[in-house]
Amino acid sequence: MNTTLSIIKPDAVKRNLIGEINTMIEKNKMKIVAQKMILLSINDAQRFYDVHKDRAFFDDLCKYMISGPIVVQVLKGKDIVSNYRKLMGATNPSNADENTIRSKYGLSVEENSVHGSDSKENAKIEIQFFFSSKEIFGD
């Protein structure tokens, strides 16, 4: 079993969807082994999304990610990186498969409700960005 980083983004936190999204995660046999609500600084958002710094949407993305609190989580489960990406659905909610988090709750390609790491290597880096090992409770 391995772990991935999940973020419930500001649009979803604002619309009271933390519980609904956590229910989808838990019903799909993924375990939340760490979770906290935080407000990113602009510097945090820019560092977290550094891979996208040359994209046209980068400034807007960073502004959106600091527009309200987010919930950061560590999820554990079988093939968790790819299984959570499947549960999230495509980046653009209008292209996301039915019954995915983004198809149900995403508002736009930017305000798409959740983040999930895209590889095992990035999961490790992203988990360390937000959590110390003492805050993670997977056995």
Catalytic residue ranges: 115
Q: Which of residues 51-80 bind ligand ADP (CB under 6 A)?
A: 52, 57, 61
- Residues that bind ligand ADP (rule: CB under 6 A) add up to a total of 9
The rounded distance, in Å, linking the Cα atoms of 60 and 10 is 13
Mark the segment that binds ligand ADP (CB under 6 A) among 14-22, 37-45, 111-119, 128-136. 111-119
Identity (one letter) of the amino acid at 96? A
Q: Which of residues 107-136 bind Mg ion (CB under 5 A)?
A: 118
- Contact between 129 and ligand ADP by CB under 6 A: the answer reads no
Contact 19, 32 (CB under 8 A): no
Closest CA to 94 of 86, 81, 105: 105
The rounded distance, in Å, linking the Cα atoms of 64 and 61 is 5
Q: Which does 57 bind (CB under 5 to 8 A by kind): Mg ion, ligand ADP, none?
A: ligand ADP
Binding residues for Mg ion, rule: CB under 5 A, are 118
